[in-house]
Structure 1
C-alpha cells in the first residue's frame, strides 16, 4: 500500500506550515519514529494512564497555534498501522486548497466502513464502552444518542490519526478538557465504570483510552469541516475487488444518510452488512 499511495503524490508540493508530531514513550518507541515527523516526548507523562491523549492535551493546553498551520500527533506505530510515511502525509497536505481543515489517515478502514460508528466498534471489542461513553457525551450534548450516531470515512478515524488546523483542535481541546474532568470526577465513586480495565495487545488498559480516540467521530459528526481523506483509503485499495464493493457500499450508504437523513439508507446499510458478514462480526445496533 505504501508504494501505491506515494505514487499518487509525486507532483505535489510540500507546504512549510506543518507541525506533525510523533509521540514516543521510551527508547524502544523512540527508535520507531519517522525522521520526517517531530518527536514528542511522553516518557515522563504525569498521566501515563491516558497514553497519547495526555501528550496531545498537554501540548495544546499551552501552545500558541498558527491558524494556517497543520498540526498532528501520531503514535510511534503510525507507519506500521497505515503503511504511510511522513513524506506521503506532507505531500498530501501540500496538495490541498487552503480551505481544507482536517485530514484523516486512519487505519482499519474496513471496520470504520461496516460498523455504524466507532462506538459500535468499541462496544463489540470492549463491552461496556458504549454505555460509559454515552454517559459522558450525553452530559455534554443532551440529545446525542450514540446508538443513532452515524459515521463514515470522512467523519471518523482510529488512533488519533488526525492532522488538522487550529479550529478543529480547539473543538478537540474543549471536549478533551470535559472528558478529563468527567472521568476524574467519576473515578472516586465506588465501582465507577471509569475504573474499568480492558485487554489490549497483551495488557490491561483503562477504558477511557478507547473513548478518547473516538472524540473525532463526535466532533466531525457535529461540526462542519472540509475534510481530506486519501484516495486509496476512500477506494479501499488494499482490499480485494469483492471486499471493496462491499465496503464502498457500506460507506456510501452511511455518508448519504448523514447528508439526507433518509432512514431507508441506514436500513439498507444494516441489511447489506448482515447479509455479507452474518455472524462472523459482532454488531451491536
Structure 2
C-alpha cells in the first residue's frame, strides 16, 4: 500500500489538500520546533505499516513547487518497485551546488560543521560533507519530498531518533548549536539549525545504504510551476548529469566542468532576477544562454 499524507496547519491549508492525500492535522504540533519531522515522527510511532508499504509526507506547497498531486505521485510509485522515489523541487539548488550539504551551508551558515559532528555522534559514518562529495538527484532530496519503503524509513528513523534525542536531551555544545538558530528565507537567526540537518538526513542514509532514489519529478510540469527556471531547465539537467558522471568515474574533468558551468548559470540566473520585465521562454534568450554557457 502507498500512503501519502499532506500536512495542514490552518483552515486554508486544510481546504487545499488534494484528493488522494491523507490529511495530517498539524495545527497543534506533537513536538515543537521540529516542523515536518514532528509530523513524520508522530506517524511512524503511531501507525501500523506493513513491511511492503510505502509512505511519504508532503507540505501544502507540493503542487505549487512541482505541479504534482497525490494521484501523480501514486501513479509514479506504482510504476516502479524502487525503494525510494524522489520528487524534490528547487532544481537550481540541487544542480548548482556539489551536494545538499554545501547548499545548506551557503544558506544556513554553520550547517556543514554541525552536520559532520552530529552524524559522528549518532553513528552515521558517511562523509557527505566533504568538499569533493558530489551528489546528483538520485542522492539529493529536498523538503522531505520522497516516498520510501518501510525498510528504508526504519533505518532512517533510527538515525533520526538519535538526532532528536541529542537535541531534546543533550546539554553539551553540539546540542546547543543544533538547537541554535540560523538564517532561512532571508530571515536572519529565526529557524533552528537542527531542522535543516534533519531534512538532509535522508541523503546521508542513501549514501550509507549505497541506494539511489528514482527520480519522480515531471520536468515540464516543474518548469511550468517555476518560470524563472524555464529557460535554464536543460542546463540544470546537464549540471546534474555532470555530477552523476563525476560520481561514477571520479574523473576531475566532469567536476571541473560542473564548476565552470554552474558558476556561469548562477550568474545568468541572478542577472535574470534583476530584470523582472524579461519574458521567459524568449528564443533569443535561449540562444544567449547557450552562448554564455558554451564558453
What range describes the TM-score normalised by the shorter chain of this pair? 0.7 to 0.9
User: Does residue 1:121 correspond to 2:89, yes or no?
Assistant: no
Whole-angstrom distance in 1 between the partners of 2:156 and 2:41: 9
1:103 aligned residue: 85
Aligned in 2, Cα 1:240/1:261: closer, same or farther, shift over 3 Å? same
Contact in 1 for aligned 2:114/2:174 (Cα 8 Å): no
Q: CA deviation at 1:78?
A: 1.4
Aligned in 2, Cα 1:57/1:143: closer, same or farther, shift over 3 Å? closer
1:4 aligned residue: none
Consecutive unaligned residues of structure 2, counting only runs of 5 or more, are 271-295
Q: CA RMSD in A?
A: 2.7
User: Does residue 1:274 correspond to 2:270, yes or no?
Assistant: no
Superposition TM-score, scaled by structure 2 size: 0.78
User: Does residue 1:44 correspond to 2:28, yes or no?
Assistant: yes
User: Which of 224, 230, 255 in structure 1 is aligned with 2:244?
Assistant: 255
Aligned in 2, Cα 1:276/1:165: closer, same or farther, shift over 3 Å? same
Q: Could you give the per-residue CA deviations for residues 148-184 of structure 1, whole angstroms, max 9, x where no partner exists?
A: 3322111111110011111210121012112112223
Contact in 2 for aligned 1:196/1:207 (Cα 8 Å): yes
Aligned in 2, Cα 1:82/1:94: closer, same or farther, shift over 3 Å? same
Q: CA deviation at 1:190?
A: 9.8
Consecutive unaligned residues of structure 1, counting only runs of 5 or more, are 1-16
Whole-angstrom distance in 2 between the partners of 1:191 and 1:18: 35
Q: Could you give the per-residue CA deviations for residues 163-218 of structure 1, whole angstroms, max 9, x where no partner exists?
A: 11112101210121121122234456599212322344586221111111111211
User: Does residue 1:228 correspond to 2:228, yes or no?
Assistant: no
Whole-angstrom distance in 2 between the partners of 1:229 and 1:94: 13
Query: Which range moves more in the overlay, 246-255 or 177-186?
Result: 177-186
Contact in 2 for aligned 1:187/1:195 (Cα 8 Å): no
Superposition TM-score, scaled by structure 1 size: 0.81
Whole-angstrom distance in 2 between the partners of 1:178 and 1:191: 12
